[in-house]
Amino acid sequence: MAGAFTLITPTEIVFGRGHIAQLNERAGKLGSRALVVHGKTPGRLAGVFESLNAIDIVQTLAIEKEPDLNTLTAAIEEGKLLGIDLVVGIGGGSVMDSAKVLAAMLPSETGLMSHLEVVGDGLPLTAKRLPLILVPTTSGTGAEVTRNAVVDVPDAQRKVSLRDNQLLPDLALVDPALTDNCPKTVSLHSGLDAITQVIEPYLSSRANLFTDMLCREAIPKGLAAIKQLMSNESAEARDALAQVSLFGGLALANSGLGVVHGIAGPLGSLCGAPHGAICGALLPAGIAANRDSVVEADHKARIDQVIGWIAEVFETSPDQALPRFRAWIAESGLLGLASIGVNEDHIIAATQAAATSSSMKANPVVLHAETIEAVMRQSL
């Protein structure tokens, strides 16, 4: 891969168990009237919210699923009337994406559609965003360190991105303790997303020295951690998976993704299934499709290395690694795409959209529509 690269990161990353204790002081230095975006069960974060006495929380927003255009537009309109000068997102990827959009759009005189890719005008942001703090409570998307936010546009049946360097937060505060005792299903889905997001940047046509350093450590570490968590709760595994998720966010922001995310975006908008579940169901077949299609020796060697890591963690031979991985995913509770609501109509509708999606542009090889369709069918 090329030796040169451009590095895109937030202003500051704080990682470590117990570091959530820094949030109140940090928030108070950035603003005084805050919008706090959180998930559908804020009760488990009650202590965190109670500690935020350095700021006045003037608006809260609960995000119960992946953010959609109407929900965000309504929150923007309400927030503009409240004099908000700080946005804090505490939750999973959907929460953090919503917080990014709100921080960017509350000071803006233009509407959200002006800046969305594909279905909107795709214009760069013109107003300086509000100060922004992102705190993940799941280990999956790495959204705390990426410069895009995914928005569901139901009328277009597409999930598209608001993308701008301004969406990188002032502070990404990652405390693995916030993920402790996360429900098993959420841990599986988000953990598989985290692993996908270190595998795809490593296989990407845009991979570079920086992303390689992150992914080479993170891929086997993530596989071992999620395997451990499906058997027993473990603080050590939670710490490892939180690190993998963070590394994945940094890696994808700097080298892109691939076929799994290329399919997951449009497919998720069509069927409404959780993003991480779609990625996890697709991952073994996506790796296999790339392995069967690549020509360049370097790309083939990288895929074989990933397959070797899977084989080692799941104690099998390389030729059985992907079938064993898929079987383990099913044994852990994710039976396949059909089990999360994907049907024939979804596959047909998603195929062409996936072929032209932004994530697909970094895939190590151009995949034809029939191959993309086959990946979905093999993952049912």
Digit-coded pLDDT (tens) for 284-315: 999 999 999 999 999 999 999 999 999 999 99
The whole model's pTM is what? 0.93
Torsion 346-348-350-353 (CA) sign: negative
What mean pLDDT is predicted for residues 34-59? Answer: 89
List all residues 6 or more positions away from 253 whose beta carbon is below 8 Å from its beta carbon.
Answer: 8, 9, 145, 146, 147
Six token digits for residue 124 = 């760069």
pLDDT at 169 over 60: yes
What's the pLDDT at 218?
98
Q: Which residues pair with 34 in a beta bridge?
A: 57, 86
**261 closest CA partner among 347, 354, 366, 348:** 354
Cα dihedral value 248, 253, 259, 260, nearest 10: 40
- Percentage helix, strand, coil, to 5, in the chain? 55, 10, 30
pLDDT band at 5 (very low <50, low <70, confident <90, very high): low
Where does the pLDDT of residue 2 fall: very low under 50, low under 70, confident under 90, or very high at 90 and above? very low
Give pLDDT, residue 120. Answer: 80
Give the C-alpha separation, 172 to 92, whole Å.
13
